[in-house]
Amino acid sequence: MTEAVATANANVALAKYWGKRDESLNLPYTGSISITLAGLTTTARVRFGAARVIDRIIMSGREAEGLEAQRVSAFLDLVRQRAGEEPRAEVEVASNFPVAAGLASSASTFAALALAASRALGLSLSPLELSVLARRGSGSAARSIFGGYVEWQPGQASDGSDSYAVQLAPAQHWPLGIVAAITDPGRKRVGSREGMAQGLKRSPFFPAWLQSHDADLEAIRQAVLARDLATAGLVAESNCLKMHAVSLASSPPLLYWNPTTVAVIQRVHQLREEGTQAYFTIDAGPQVKIICPLAERDAVAAAIRRVPGVHDVLLSEPGDEARVVESE
């Protein structure tokens, strides 16, 4: 029996990944840039060699079934193929934040699974190899392998071998605060996987999204390196709104927001008018993530908590890379 436990943090993209050039390999059309989020952590325990005929997968305390279980088993198959071994596994995955509600739990889940499963089968993969592997589980997981500020390079190879993330800057480079406003604690109805597939096939705005994305990416990359919050924040807001515009214009339309999402956006704009550097971004769900100087995080969180309809706020800052916490 071989076992390993690994942790990985969620991440929030300032320049988004939205649209795949290859659905089975999770190859993106564009690059993306994210911040790895301290304290929003998924732990994966993987034990191989159990006398089983199928994998046993526990997600958030309950046995995974159907597509969810298939997705994890198919991911474990990749690791088994690489190791040249066939044992079934017992897997336990748990996150300390709301899963599947637009808080990037698939990113931290597959980054933690890539590390735990490869280590449990005796593979010692480099961060780059882990990023390629994690990407196969969920595209954004490629970024959660690394800490701090991270860029996923889309690559060009049809086998995906050059589509992996790299660290742009470590967490200490720029002490930003991140506030996640939970406007709906339930599971989201349309995940990012289906949402981006729908946008790509059925939104007239998808070509425009692709056309303007590289300029956003370059602006955000430079702003991160220069610690220029006004530029990073404004371009991230615009990039997020363009991604949501792709969904809104698709047929049938896809609206991830609720009224509280909009109220939080408006409160962020108001905070800026009052002199606080706060900027929002939203992924494939109704929650709003706000970036601000770390020193202003508590004040921003207090203001957002008072917006009617906000259930909770989570506080974060740039966090560390995925790591093995136990292995035998």
Contacting positions for ligand DP6 (CB under 6 A): 13, 16-18, 26, 32, 104, 106-107, 138-140, 192-193, 283-284
Nearer of residues 26 and 118 to ligand DP6, judged by Cβ? 26
Nearer of residues 200 and 278 to ligand DP6, judged by Cβ? 200
Smallest separation, CB 168 to ligand DP6 (Å): 14
Smallest separation, CB 143 to ligand DP6 (Å): 8
94-121 in b/e form (b: 16+ CB < 10 A) is bbebbbbbbbbbbbbbbbbbbbbbbbbb
Smallest separation, CB 326 to ligand DP6 (Å): 26
- What's CA 128's distance to the chain center, in Å? 17
Smallest separation, CB 84 to ligand DP6 (Å): 27
Bridge partners of residue 328, in order along the sequence: none
Nearer of residues 51 and 67 to ligand DP6, judged by Cβ? 67
Phi and psi (nearest 5°) for 70? -60, -40
Phi and psi (nearest 5°) for 81? -60, -45
305 contact partners, CB below 8 Å, separation of at least 6 = 313
Cα separation, 117 vs 322, in Å, equals 13
Nearer of residues 16 and 45 to ligand DP6, judged by Cβ? 16
Smallest separation, CB 87 to ligand DP6 (Å): 26
Cα separation, 58 vs 69, in Å, equals 9
Nearer of residues 103 and 268 to ligand DP6, judged by Cβ? 103
201-218 in b/e form (b: 16+ CB < 10 A) is ebbebbeebeeebeebbe
Smallest separation, CB 16 to ligand DP6 (Å): 4
Nearer of residues 160 and 177 to ligand DP6, judged by Cβ? 160
Cα separation, 170 vs 157, in Å, equals 28
Structure tokens at 111: 């980054």
Q: What letter does residue 25 receive in the DSSP assignment?
A: T
Find the residue with minimal CB distance to ligand DP6.
139
CB 46 within 8 A of CB 113: yes
Nearer of residues 87 and 139 to ligand DP6, judged by Cβ? 139
